[in-house]
Amino acid sequence: MKVITPQLRWTLFGLLCVAGIFNAMDRPIIAILKPDMSADFGWTDEDFGNLAFVTQMAAAFSFLFTGWLVDKLGVWRSMIAGVTTWSFAAMAHGWAMAAWQVVGARIGLGATEAVQTPLTIKTVATLFPPDKRSFAFGVGTAIAGLGTISLPFFIPILAAEVGWRGALVFGGVAGFATLALWLGFARGIRFDDGAEDGQRDFSDDGAPYGPILKERRTWAIVIAKAISDSTWWLMGFWLADFYRKTFNLSTEELAVPLAIAFLGSGAGALFAGWISTRLLESGWSVNRVRKTVMLVSALIVTPLPFVLQLNSFWPVAIMMGVVMAGHQGFSLSIFSTITDVVPRTKVGRVTAFGAFMGNIGGALIQPITGAVLTAGLGFMPLFIFAAMSYLLALAWLHMLLPEIRRS
């Protein structure tokens, strides 16, 4: 039996985060290579919005099952099932020659990617003590951010050699390689309830979703996720297009502004996790820490509409990095709140239901964005909504959960 040392704990979590990079790389690939795909299939902005919508909806409804699956199977089996299925789904894009085949591959990828979020939260809740979880979330998001920073530079080069289909196939192959490494380090580990290797490694209370949905704290979390994640998915799918339309950037020229945005994302998560841990260690209450970080994160997003008044590229690029940092600080606090208030045996399901609602919000914003842009209204209505979304989410969370206490 292998003892889980601090070094091994971080190694396992780090590899899971690397797998998450390949899990999510399809979205920047689609956003960056939108002109290539549009040229192949004749897509408009509205068509692109609809493609993003079906992907998000597939992920959203899959979350209703993946949370239960992660709680039932545990980390070991969930890691194998998740990485295997989403890697195969990514590779399926390599054989997509017609538009309907791309849509089918996107639906499959959206559905299988949904294992990642509850798996990550479950892993953190299991491997790390309560006061260290915020920092772990921050480190994990920073790792994902560093990986994503490289994508705007790497993807155009890769696509020039193998096309957009080949770039997605690469993500699937890399996912399998990461899984092999994770299994090598995890072999022989005995988790909480004494299971080893392929055994079920966490206890499960067998409770269905019904009791979870009756909990006030569940709705506090999931509606806040739905509101705030709408902005994240707006930026994730449309930021590259915003730069194209505003500054007439080519695919290669998108690398720097997108890297700045992803750098802000990673830095925001890392700082929010670090400061949350320090404040908890200094004696602040969980309630005060979570809501203070959420409030500061929400406030730094509010100037977003003013970027449309700027004519200079660099201030806009920096502001977008700040917006992404604000989102990650807010999101990290919500995930940390889940581990604070939800019993461990239900963490996967509550996380997944929150992700379901977040993806519903993200799905709905896609056709709305496509329709707004097609109507010639520009990004102003969208950015006004984004600027207010986090304050609205925090107000809702505070109304339903006035005091955050650890369960």
Report d(CA 262, CA 317) in Å as an integer. Answer: 11
Q: Which pLDDT tens digit goes with each residue over 261-270?
A: 888 888 888 8
DSSP letters of 209-254? HHHHHT-HHHHHHHHHHHHHHHHHHHHHHHHHHHHHHHH---TGGG
The confidence score (pLDDT) of residue 343 equals: 77
DSSP state of 173: H
Average pLDDT rounded to a whole number, residues 87-95? 82
Average pLDDT rounded to a whole number, residues 42-67? 79
DSSP state of 342: S
Report d(CA 87, CA 9) in Å as an integer. Answer: 24
CATH fold group of domain 6-400 = Growth Hormone; Chain: A; (1.20.1250)
Q: How far is CA 73 from the centre of its chain?
A: 22
Task: Give the tokens for residue 399.
Answer: 């109304």
Q: Domain extents for the chain?
A: 6-400
Averaged confidence pLDDT in the chain: 82
Report d(CA 198, CA 77) in Å as an integer. Answer: 6
pTM above 0.85, yes or no: no
